[in-house]
Amino acid sequence: MKKLLIFSLAAMVLAIGLVGAVSAKNDNSNQYMPSNAPTNEISLLENAKEVAPGVFYLGKSMNKGKVVEGYAFVHYAKDSDRAKKAKPTQDDSNKYKLLGVKWADTIQYEVNTAGSNFVGAGDVTGILEDSLETWDTAITSDFELFNDVLVPTTETFVGGTEPDYINRIVWQNFGGPGTIAYNSYWFYTATREMIESDVVFNSYYDWADCIDGGVDCSNKMDLQSIATHEFGHNGLADLYNRPARPLTMYGYSGFGETKKQDLATGDMLGIQALYGN
């Protein structure tokens, strides 16, 4: 049964004994998180387990006769407690992280723009389609990851204890600031083939086109920037080191930030490693 997101204000307690995690790479090798990582105090969905900062394990089940697993990546605001814990290290401008899963064919999203609180000029669906096209343009092969035409839906909820094989984009109120959006996805355990990806934006925030929308974005989130980041989770993980801030897949964003609209070197290397051959 699908459930509303519940975010706790409790402090993060990192999982102990994690024997594997999404690993930073600048090649096309893959590594993935274990399925038995312990839980901590922050809850994304019922029974979800945070196995790394901002990464939640949604569980394993049988679906259509196959074992499936789910994860979710949570995108935090720059002024959140999570963002303040990021530590600078080496230059990460050419780095990326692979999830160890990928799509076997072109995918399409359904979209419900209700609750988007969009301000100013621009079309919500059109902006989302531009974000999808940004990734497809970076893929050097003939493979098209996204069908850039979004299908309208009235469906409100995503997530749950198993996939429904429908990719959705929706808005939900997370109950306050701090979390901007998240991407949850499911894959076949045996083949690592992705079978569902859902993107949920926080309707607590006002959203806008902060380049061409003609509005003051000092207290608004740029839709195209955040959406481009979320769509990157169709194979790529977040980067949290501060030297990775120029990258689209950097895990934090702030009001009016637009730099994630365009891919940086590491983002392009990552998507090409997955789908460019």
Q: What is the pLDDT of residues 222-277, one digit of tens each?
A: 999 999 999 999 999 999 888 899 999 999 999 999 999 999 999 999 999 999 97
- Report the pLDDT averaged over residues 113-128: 96
What domains appear along the chain, each with residue ranges and CATH number? 24-275 (3.40.390.10)
In this prediction the pTM is 0.83
User: In this predicted model, what pLDDT tens digit does every residue of 195-210 receive, in sequence order?
Assistant: 999 999 999 999 999 9
**267 in helix, strand or coil?**
helix
CB-side exposure of 55: number of CA atoms within 13 Å?
Answer: 24
Please, what is the Cα angle at 59 between 57 and 63, to 5 degrees?
140
43-78 tens-digit pLDDT:
356 678 899 989 999 999 998 899 999 999 999 998
Instruction: Write down the pLDDT at residue 190.
Output: 97
CB 177, CB 7: distance < 8 Å: no
- What token pair was written down for 143? 């493979």
Could you give the CA distance from residue 31 to residue 50 in angstroms, rounded to a whole number?
Answer: 17
Token pair, residue 137, equals: 């343009």
Percent share of the chain, pLDDT over 90: 68
Q: Which of 174-178, 179-183, 201-205 has the lowest mean pLDDT?
A: 174-178
Distance CA 254, CA 115 (A): 20
**Cα 213 from chain centroid (whole Å):** 24
Q: Which of 254, 231, 216 is nearest to 86 (CA)?
A: 254
Higher local confidence (pLDDT), 161 or 272: 272
* The two three-digit tokens of residue 150, written as one number: 């979004």
